Amino acid sequence: QVQLVESGGGVVQPGKSLRLSCAGSGFTFRNYGMHWVRQAPGQGLEWVTVISYDGDKKWYADAVKGRFTISRDNSKNTLYLQMNRLRAEDTAVYYCAKDSRSGSGGSYSYGMDVWGQGTTVTVSS
């Protein structure tokens, strides 16, 4: 079955960096756009970024633009999120999620269908 497993979360000081990973299995990873979505404690969902199926196109939320970078390695079926200059307001559970249609993530998205279980990032001194 389709599965996404995130890793790399932890406690980090403000201004530091962290890299999250998401391993996909059970589907043809290279065919789908992939997203990161986060959820601050007790809050709703916030879309963070998406990368197209081929890695050529990326979109970011304003809150993370210039600090976070999404990337993927289709040979390893793995998605990444490099988070730099972290702030307290970046504290959240970070979910990776697969776009629901193949060929997506470039000029369009159909939203997410399958989500990972999430990895927790805490930014605190």
- Let me know the angle formed at the C-alpha of 64 by 94 and 14, rounded to the nearest 5 degrees: 75
Contacts with other proteins, residue ranges (CB under 8 A): 35, 44-47, 50, 59-62, 95, 100, 108-118
Q: Which is nearer to other proteins, 16 or 108 (CB)?
A: 108
Burial level of 124, CB count in 10 A (0-12/13-18/19+)? exposed
Least distance between other proteins and beta carbon 54 (Å): 17
Cβ-Cβ contacts under 8 Å for 65 (sequence gap 6 or more): none
Q: Which is nearer to other proteins, 1 or 125 (CB)?
A: 1
Least distance between other proteins and beta carbon 13 (Å): 27
Least distance between other proteins and beta carbon 96 (Å): 10
Q: Which is nearer to other proteins, 17 or 117 (CB)?
A: 117
Amino acid in the structure at residue 73: D
Least distance between other proteins and beta carbon 47 (Å): 4
Q: Which two tokens stand for residue 107?
A: 């000029």
CA dist 7 and 68 (Å) reads: 16
